[in-house]
Structure 1
Amino acid sequence: MATLAPHQPAELAPAHWTEGTPSDEALAHIPGEAGWPIVGNTFKMLSDPHGQTRRMIEKYGRVYKSKAFGGWNVALIGAEANEMVLMNRDKAFSSEQGWGPVLDKLFPRGLMLIDFDHHRADRRALSIAFKPGPMRHYAGSLNRGIAKRLDEWGTGEMRFYPAIKELTLDLAADSFIGIPWGPEADRINRAFVDMVQASVAPVRKPLPFTQMKRGVDGRAFLVDYFTRETHRRRAEGGGQDMFSQFATAEYEDGSLMPVDEVVDHMNFLMMAAHDTITSSATSLLWLLAKHPEWQDRLRDEVIGVTGGVDAQGRVRDLDYDDLGKLELTDMAFKEALRFVPPVPSMPRRALKSFEYGGYQIPAGAHVGINIHYTHHDEEYWDNPYTFDPMRFTPEQVKARHKYAWVPFGGGAHMCLGLHFAYMQVKVLLAQMLPRYRVELAAGDPDWQAWPIPKPKDGLKIALKAI
């Protein structure tokens, strides 16, 4: 059980990620390794993060330190560690200062990069975009957009990941922005890709020709775009799309959120929705193609809820009020999120010294939980590398540690858009499965683990008419 130590210094200055960092001597009692000179374990983490985690746990246990990306990180492994860090009951951990060294040049002041009262106020203001009224609007947009694109895909072989990535961006244009992208689509897509890839680039300064420079340039482009759009939305009085909801969001005192903060939140949430939903939808389609018996069960469930194909041969929409009826689909998606969590690990910074697993971790230490490892830990999951949606029956969920499954995080920083993610994936399957049978066209793909998982070959599938 984790306990806070008596020594509880004040919060560290958020702009200075190295200020107050514990010395090597202060961390000497924690087992681990520094890796190679200068780069530490950075390249090991980038090339095989899951394998590196397993090796470190086998060698040092469930609390260990590793030097990567310029400094020490203390890994805290297991469901109890997840609960302690994510619930953060004593305000001992900063999300802002954990993600800051990785994302501050790219996604500053996004909802994940602010803490405590600031985070609570902004989250409350932004939550208006996920109320039932706007969500019904998004559901209609998703059904229309996905149905149109699936008709365009037709039958035959395709690479699913780039196709669903493009579709997700187009859906975001409609649901999030409320306008067609037009000729700016490729530039916006490229900006998001550059920013996400830059988040784990070994070179952390935006030097010419580096990935970090491309990421910083991508951010500048999007800041300009969203700033102009925010002013326009406020002048026009808003709308049902997510951006209009953000642009006109008010704090409890009735004041509008500053334009630059609206821009930062929109930039961050677009990235989160775009890349994490793309990853999650891809992992689910991969697993359903590998397990046709589950694909058939989900197809039967979808048709039972929506009616499948109407008299004119068109696939019926999934109504917003019917989302909760897709129980097996919900369980299969949760199992896919367990199998391939879209955010494999989460960093934090200790604002106070604390004890965990028999070790005293000093204030200022960069710490992290490993979601992917916990999702495959035999302590919580039988046959963890077997796809089994029945793990998520109410009885199984109740019997398991609540924080053994945390694909959307937890506590105050639980993903604000998780219900939108469920909705988009359910609409995708409701439109897809009555039309097509999905098969793998090239066997199991290798997966790139970081920064957001994706199949290296794009996931080659074959769509066959039902």
Structure 2
Amino acid sequence: MATLAESAPASAADEEFRPQHWTDKLPEDALDHIPGEAGWPIVGNTFRMLADPHSFVKQMVGKYGKVYKGKAFGGWQVALIGAEANELLLFDRNKIFSSEQGWGPILDQLFPRGLMLMDFDHHRIDRRALSIAFKPEPMRHYSGSLNRGIAQEVSGWADKPIQFYPAIKQLTLDLAAESFIGIPWGPEADKINQAFVDMVQASVAPVRKPLPFTQMKKGVDGRKFLVDYFTKETLRRRKEGGGQDMFSQFATATREDGSLLPVDEVVDHMNFLMMAAHDTITSSATSLIYLLAKHPEWQEKLRQEIIAVIGGPDADGKPRPLSYDDLGKLELTEMAFKEALRMIPPVPSTPRRALKSFEYAGYTIPAGAMVGINAHYVHHMEEYWPEPEKFDPLRFTPEQVKERHKYAWVPFGGGAHMCLGLHFAYMQVKILLAQLLQRYSIEIEEGYSPEWQAWPIPKPKDGLKVAFRSL
């Protein structure tokens, strides 16, 4: 069986078709040799995928194997399943796959020119410029903001049932307003947060045109508001000098030749990274809290590790902050977070578009094909993860990781497009757990098992009903 194949020799068809934009159409018969199904007339498999994507993928793999095609969102998509497929698309040693054209149909109207929608040299240059915001000194600044903001908010969660998902979503948005944009919590932050929420919801709206009263219209309006806001703020911060927040870092970032990033690109990067940060961290934190509530023995292990590192509450009984220098010491806490990301990855699937023909698992996939991998499915394959439905953070000991395929776990993507903010995500979740587990026992009702909305970013449909009982 073929796995990580080199780009296949160009055929006559390849010479005729080289996609320049995601709207360029692949010839109708180009995928006839790939097994799969079109689904219903006009809508294809779109509603099946949105309703229960995990069951849909399981059915398709069972019926057609690890390479199959399906029609959704107006076109054919080829699914490639397995850790080898993850490596092929994400590592992309031969520059076969376009992230820009893969994400384009979903994000182009809302988050154009964000870092994830860039390819190759342009992506590399801008990523290097933006990485300044994740260097140790800015990260140390963010950790102070996170400790203060999280401590202030979670102190009000004591001894009462709450819906965790909306609570942590609001907290994450507020934290992003302070750490990312450098503005205080309040009405201005609320307007910005709502615009982001509208844009994210619009990204998977079935109606793809911004018609009146549609979710897409709300999303497009939200983007216009943020473009105006970030454009004015970028110009102001360049003139007056900015602070240590992420936006100020982006506004003054320079490329390799010393030139500032164009203002419109700063705006687009900020839009995208705010979206990527707050929605994925919200999802990840929610899944971790649910799994720890289900497994109180692991909750206690993490509590003891946190107390051993921090020293426990201070003389007044208040939880101590988790310092930036102590983040790396919470090894078991990090393993638990990684296991939560395995079980419920915040980005369940990743699209790309083939710019060249290639071979995988015995099939030749033509240039122009929309292709994708499925992290959620691979994260639950028994060949990589014995008892995949079991919560077991010890899967992530160095010994276990070394024995496993490197691309069997890809919640942050991989290769050149590895999530730029992954260390920020680890930091925020560790600080959140340090504050929560010094104060509370996290509890759910016996037998409680919420239903999850699986796509585009997982979340519990009932908001996740938990209680934080004071220790």
Q: TM-score, normalising length from structure 1?
A: 0.98
Residue of structure 2 equivalent to 1:457: 462
Matched, 1:168 2:188: no
Residue of structure 2 equivalent to 1:445: 450
CA distance in 1, matches of 2:232, 2:456: 29
Residues 276, 452 of structure 1: 8 Å contact kept: yes
CA distance in 2, matches of 1:114, 1:10: 24
- Shift, 1:11, TM fit: 9.4
- Structure 1 residues 437-446 or 25-34, which shifts more? 437-446
Q: Which 4+ residue blocks in structure 1 deviate beyond 4 angstroms? A: 8-14
Compared with structure 1, are the counterparts of its residues 11 and 277 closer, same or farther at alpha carbon in structure 2 (3 Å cutoff)? farther
CA distance in 2, matches of 1:184, 1:154: 28
Aligned residues: 464
CA distance in 1, matches of 2:142, 2:125: 24
CA distance in 1, matches of 2:50, 2:231: 34
Residues 227, 263 of structure 1: 8 Å contact kept: yes
Q: What SS does the corresponding residue of 1:360 show, helix, strand or coil? A: strand
Q: What SS does the corresponding residue of 2:70 show, helix, strand or coil? A: strand
Residue of structure 1 equivalent to 2:30: 26
Q: What SS does the corresponding residue of 1:223 show, helix, strand or coil? A: helix
CA distance in 2, matches of 1:250, 1:154: 45
State the identity %. 76
* Cα distance per residue 1:36-84 (max 9 Å; x no partner): 0000000000000000000000000000000000000000000000000
Q: What SS does the corresponding residue of 1:257 show, helix, strand or coil? A: coil
CA distance in 2, matches of 1:27, 1:173: 45
Q: Structure 1 counterpart of 2:173, which letter?
A: L
Q: What SS does the corresponding residue of 1:404 show, helix, strand or coil? A: coil
Task: Give the one of 336, 345, 349 matched to 1:341.
Answer: 345
CA distance in 1, matches of 2:71, 2:466: 39
CA distance in 1, matches of 2:46, 2:216: 16
CA distance in 1, matches of 2:402, 2:68: 30
Residue of structure 2 equivalent to 1:83: 87
Counterparts of 1:138-287 in structure 2, within 5 Å, are 138-287=142-291
Q: What SS does the corresponding residue of 1:349 show, helix, strand or coil? A: strand
- Shift, 1:185, TM fit: 3.0
Q: What SS does the corresponding residue of 2:34 show, helix, strand or coil? A: coil
Counterparts of 1:32-431 in structure 2, within 5 Å, are 32-431=36-435
* Cα distance per residue 1:338-383 (max 9 Å; x no partner): 0100000000000000000100100000000001000001111001
Compared with structure 1, are the counterparts of its residues 342 and 420 closer, same or farther at alpha carbon in structure 2 (3 Å cutoff)? same
CA distance in 2, matches of 1:47, 1:234: 46
* Cα distance per residue 1:304-353 (max 9 Å; x no partner): 00011011111111011111100100000000000100000000000000
Compared with structure 1, are the counterparts of its residues 34 and 240 closer, same or farther at alpha carbon in structure 2 (3 Å cutoff)? same
* Cα distance per residue 1:256-298 (max 9 Å; x no partner): 0001000000000000111000000000000000000000000
- Shift, 1:441, TM fit: 4.0
CA distance in 2, matches of 1:165, 1:321: 26
Compared with structure 1, are the counterparts of its residues 394 and 11 closer, same or farther at alpha carbon in structure 2 (3 Å cutoff)? farther
Q: What SS does the corresponding residue of 1:401 show, helix, strand or coil? A: coil
- Structure 1 residues 380-389 or 146-155, which shifts more? 146-155
Q: What SS does the corresponding residue of 1:314 show, helix, strand or coil? A: coil
- Shift, 1:208, TM fit: 1.3
Q: What SS does the corresponding residue of 1:3 show, helix, strand or coil? A: coil
For structure 2, which runs of at least 5 residues remain unmatched after alignment? none
Residues 3, 356 of structure 1: 8 Å contact kept: no
Matched, 1:6 2:9: yes
Give the alignment's Cα RMSD to 1 decimal: 1.2
Q: TM-score, normalising length from structure 2?
A: 0.97
CA distance in 2, matches of 1:346, 1:408: 10
CA distance in 1, matches of 2:38, 2:432: 45
CA distance in 1, matches of 2:388, 2:205: 31
Residues 125, 255 of structure 2: 8 Å contact kept: yes
Residues 183, 189 of structure 2: 8 Å contact kept: no
- Shift, 1:222, TM fit: 1.0
Residues 52, 454 of structure 2: 8 Å contact kept: yes
CA distance in 2, matches of 1:166, 1:142: 14
- Structure 1 residues 398-407 or 437-446, which shifts more? 437-446
For structure 1, which runs of at least 5 residues remain unmatched after alignment? none
CA distance in 1, matches of 2:124, 2:17: 17
